[in-house]
Amino acid sequence: MILSHEHRFIYIRCRKTASTSIELALSRVCGPDDVITPIQNAGHEALRRSLGGRGPQNHADPDGTARFYGHMPAAEVRLLVGEKVWTSYYTWCVERNPWDKVISRYYARHRDPATRPPLSTFLESGSAHYVVNFRLYTVGSEVVTDHIARFENLGPELDRIAERLGLPRDALELPRANGEHRTDRRHHSALYSADERDFVAELFAPEISLLGYRFTDGLEPGPGNEP
């Protein structure tokens, strides 16, 4: 996550929503007093430096104990920064269609086709729970961030956020950090059985209800593709 006093915003980092790329971009506009949390992948930190971004800073106590961390829930951030900062800074995050997000996680987790389990096995293992982001931007099921940007419309969303924060138009142009490991490029709806579809619908029911996601989102209209 990033807490920018210089530009008065707090970015809550949700999983499988281009969060690493967003954080790398934001690092380029941060000041010396801003909080930037570490990215676990050393290669990403090297990329951050090569792009002219600030590295991890102001996220830990002098003894090294982390106060802020990557996928930190808004509730914890708000408690740490206090109500005055939380309510006066622009708070935002990015969310993604859960069926698409789970497929992205599935391929990232199992990159080798030779050892990749069936999707049903992946779901039954509990691995999909890792990308449930609802608790990151809510408290007691109430949204506490000012804005939830849509991954599916990320470019225009980031343009509007940059304008809202008074940043240059190109400030949030995203570097490619995590390559897409997905080998089957069909629409995600083609990769699920009915039972698997329903499993994801139940697991992500709160965000589906909140943001109106549908299984067929992004599917080109055509015979058999009606919502």
Q: What is the pLDDT of residues 76-108, one digit of tens each?
A: 999 999 999 999 999 999 999 999 999 999 999
In a domain, 121, yes or no: yes
The sheet with strand 90-95 has its strands ordered as 35-36, 2-4, 9-11, 90-95, 147-150
Confidence class of residue 220 from pLDDT cuts 50, 70 and 90? low
Confidence class of residue 226 from pLDDT cuts 50, 70 and 90? very low
In a domain, 225, yes or no: no
Question: How many distinct structural domains can be found in the chain?
Answer: 1
In a domain, 223, yes or no: no
What residues make up the domain containing 53? Answer: 2-211
**Over residues 108-124, mean pLDDT:** 94
In a domain, 48, yes or no: yes
Rounded CA separation 24/109 (Å): 22
pLDDT tens-digit series, residues 49-60 = 989 999 999 999
In a domain, 218, yes or no: no
Residue 162 CB neighbours (<10 A): 19
**Over residues 37-43, mean pLDDT:** 87
pLDDT at 177: 62
In a domain, 128, yes or no: yes
Name the pTM for this structure: 0.92
Task: Specify the CATH number for the domain of residue 41.
Answer: 3.40.50
227 vs 157, residue with greater confidence: 157
Confidence class of residue 111 from pLDDT cuts 50, 70 and 90? confident
pLDDT > 60? residue 227: no
Angle at 31 (CA atoms; ends 26, 35), nearest 5 degrees? 70
pLDDT > 90? residue 215: yes
In a domain, 226, yes or no: no
pLDDT at 124: 97
pLDDT > 50? residue 224: no
pLDDT > 90? residue 164: yes
In a domain, 108, yes or no: yes
pLDDT > 80? residue 179: no
